[in-house]
């Protein structure tokens, strides 16, 4: 008897995270070198802890090379027991051009099913709105959004097959 085994379609999961609260711009510190504030570090730990129980197997983290984004990504990775070797720095995310982020997502290898991106506004808010029918006005610092796509190819990810699974914002105090 011949049995056909149908390949199961795997969903793609995309986590979009804006860096935590950072120092204000200054004439003495380059923008790319701005650090997280104490509040930002606290935000990152609290949001990473909230996410830790919800992310089973993350394949890759793509991060802006800005210090504030990398520090946020590192806190998340450590809190979630994700190897730091899964963090890749990508300078095109720093430029905050939304098309660059879309290209990165669309060119992610299909054997990876989950991707986390750490970067900046306005491009991250625009990226979420590009992929989701659920409009977000503004992704705050350390805001976390998860989109799930009903496809097994990153190139096929779009509004027609997406679901905004959750949107977490840190408590402002």
Here the CATH number for the domain that contains residue 163 is: 3.40.50.1240
Give a yes or no: residue 2 inside a domain: no
Give a yes or no: residue 24 inside a domain: yes
Give a yes or no: residue 38 inside a domain: yes
Q: How does 118-127 read in b/e, with b if 16+ C-beta sit within 10 Å?
A: bbbbebbbbb
Domains contained in the chain, number: 1
Is the model's pLDDT at 67 over the cut of 70? Answer: yes
pLDDT of 69-92, one tens digit each? Answer: 999 999 999 999 999 999 999 999
Of 141, 139, 131, 119, give the one whose Cα is nearest residue 163: 131
Of 141, 147, 146, give the one whose Cα is nearest residue 161: 147
Q: What strands, in cross-sheet order, belong to the sheet with 87-89?
A: 87-89, 60-63, 114-119, 12-18, 144-149, 162-168
Q: Residue 40: helix, strand or coil by DSSP?
A: helix
Q: How many CA atoms lie within 13 A of 40 on its CB side?
A: 21
Is the model's pLDDT at 3 over the cut of 80? Answer: no
- Grade residue 7 by pLDDT with cuts at 50, 70 and 90: low
Residue 143 neighbours by CB distance under 10 Å: 23
Give a yes or no: residue 88 inside a domain: yes
Give a yes or no: residue 61 inside a domain: yes
Q: What is the pLDDT of residue 97?
A: 81
Q: Which residues pair with 61 in a beta bridge?
A: 87, 116
Give the separation between CA 48 and CA 144, rounded to whole angstroms: 9
Give a yes or no: residue 6 inside a domain: no
Range of the domain at 34: 12-168
pLDDT of 124-138, one tens digit each? Answer: 999 999 999 999 999
pLDDT of 38-65, one tens digit each? Answer: 999 999 999 999 999 888 789 999 999 9
Give a yes or no: residue 1 inside a domain: no
Q: What is the pLDDT of residue 1?
A: 47
Give a yes or no: residue 19 inside a domain: yes
């Amino acid at each position: 008897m011949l049995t056909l085994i149908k390949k199961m379609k795997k969903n793609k999961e995309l986590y979009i995270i804006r860096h935590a609260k950072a120092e204000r711009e200054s004439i003495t510190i380059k923008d790319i070198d701005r650090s997280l504030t104490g509040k930002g570090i606290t935000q990152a730990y609290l949001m990473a802890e909230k996410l830790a129980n919800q992310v089973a197997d993350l394949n890759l983290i793509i991060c802006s090379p800005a210090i504030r984004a990398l520090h946020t990504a590192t806190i998340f990775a450590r809190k979630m027991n994700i190897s730091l070797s899964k963090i890749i720095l990508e300078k095109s995310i720093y430029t905050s051009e939304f098309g660059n982020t879309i290209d990165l997502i669309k060119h992610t290898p299909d054997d990876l099913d989950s991707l986390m991106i750490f970067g900046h506004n306005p491009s991250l808010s625009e990226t979420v709105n590009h992929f989701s029918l659920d409009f977000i006005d503004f992704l705050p610092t350390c805001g976390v959004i998860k989109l799930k796509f009903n496809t097994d190819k990153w190139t096929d990810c779009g509004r027609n097959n997406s679901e905004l699974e959750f949107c977490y914002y840190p408590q402002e105090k």
